[in-house]
Amino acid sequence: MSTLSQLEAAVLAGDEQAAPRLIEQGLAGGLSAKQLLDEGLIAGMSEVGRRFRDGEYYLPEVLVAADALKAALARLQPHLVAQGVRPEATAVIGTVRGDLHDIGKNLAATMLQGAGFEVVDLGVDVPAEKFVAACQQQPVQVIGLSALLTTTMPAMEMIVQAVRTSVRPAPYIIVGGAPLTQAFADRIGADGYGRDAATGADLARRWCARR
């Protein structure tokens, strides 16, 4: 089994020890940081997303895979920088104002990272102004909004309106969270509905590829 296949398998198995070790092994064996990212980590996390969407993986398996991905990315990051590999696009993500739930948002952030995005995580209880400010500090291609309370869903519409009014070029806005539906996403003018974290990352990746 090649190092890249082993790395993909380590992410799938959520092996937090093996994943960073395989990064070192790959680099020592002459693989580039970009290969390790694209053909090992992103490949592994895409498959995790597919299995989660298809009901083959449950939340605990996704969470341990996310930990393995993070451990490997931390080891790979300095090499990506040294080899001049820049993320294709930036995503800003946060749980909307009034809402403190962050498990789904963190998962969505990890899936976006696993899809090759640089992710700016604004945390929880984030007002519209903070999303707008983050988009003014750097070019942002994707915004991810999370809400778990029916009482905080209206905050999403305010954020969509604020971003549409003040950010150019317009980022692609994805909304997600248990109480949401596609119809709600359409009604508030969001571009996409992330039924789950993997779908959110897929939508973001497809939109960036079309640009």
- Judged by the rule CB under 6 A, the positions of this chain that interact with ligand B1M are 59, 93, 98-105, 107-108, 144, 146, 148-151, 174, 176-179, 194, 196-197, 200
Nearer to ligand B1M by Cβ, of 60 and 169: the residue is 60
Which is nearer to ligand B1M, 85 or 162 (by Cβ)? 162
Q: Which two tokens stand for residue 106?
A: 């963190």
Whole-angstrom Cα distance, residue 8 to residue 122? Answer: 29
Q: How far is CA 91 from CA 6, 23, 54, 121, 154, in A?
A: 28, 25, 25, 8, 22
- Of 16 and 99, which CB lies nearer to ligand B1M in the complex structure? 99
- Residues 6+ away with beta carbon under 8 Å from 169: none
C-beta of 100 vs 133, nearer to ligand B1M: 100
Taking the least distance from each CB to ligand B1M, the nearer of 151 and 161 is 151
* CB-based contacts of 73, cutoff 8 Å, min separation 6: 41, 113
| Integer-rounded Cα radius of gyration of the chain | 17
d(CA 138, CA 9) in angstroms, rounded, equals 34
Residue nearest to ligand B1M (CB): 104
Smallest separation, CB 153 to ligand B1M (Å): 8
Closest approach of ligand B1M to the CB of residue 177, in Å: 5
